[in-house]
Amino acid sequence: MNKKVNGHRILVALGANLPADWGGVARVPADSLRAAIAELGTLGLKLVSQSRFFVTPCFPAGVGPDYVNAAAVFDVPAGQAPQETLALLHKVEAAHGRTREARWAGRVLDLDLLAVGDQVLPDRTTYERWRDLALADQLRIAPVQLILPHPRMAERAFVLVPLAEVAPDWRHPVSGKTVVEMRNALPAADRAAVRPLTNGG
């Protein structure tokens, strides 16, 4: 991805695996993703590109229905801090009924801020501590501050496969690897499990 001045180009991962109740009408996960992208545009985020939608197995395995996932690139207004951008993502999640009661629970909408340009937040030491967190601890605790880039992005096919469609050349500011390089480093079975959505829903 071409980096905007002062890091105003952002990467966002989108996902949902539960239907949303929208004015008494059930909305399937793909519809929630489409609506979220449109709503972010009304909040000042300019859509640059979005991936196709993909069906991916729920993680951890067996805890819920398959997810619909996508990735998007947005430009944000000059001067908008990453924390403000994250607050907008959370605002859209909440509007769709998202609650944060348990780690990795099924969700009607998940909007993850993956990266803001090449910023590392809050600092490299803190980033590396969260990146290297043991899986058992990942299930138990969540950071109280924004960590950028997203510390788990390099491990997740459901993030990297869609992201490679819209930001293949974005380079991780810590590892130095591009999105395509990170995707290709994943096990082939993980990549193959992320399948394009073919029925629109």
Domains defined along the chain, listed by start = 5-196 (3.30.70.560)
pLDDT, residue 5, reads 37
22 pLDDT higher than 50: yes
Quick one: average pLDDT of 104-113?
A: 82
Strands (E), the chain: 9-16, 20-22, 25-27, 46-50, 54-56, 67-75, 110-116, 195-196
Q: For residue 179, how many other CB atoms are within 10 A of its CB? A: 28
Name the residue with higher pLDDT: 195 or 141: 195
pTM assigned to the model: 0.90
What's the CA gap between 160 and 143, in Å, rounded? 22
% of residues, the chain, pLDDT over 70: 88
pLDDT at 99: 65
Decide if pLDDT at 149 tops 80: yes
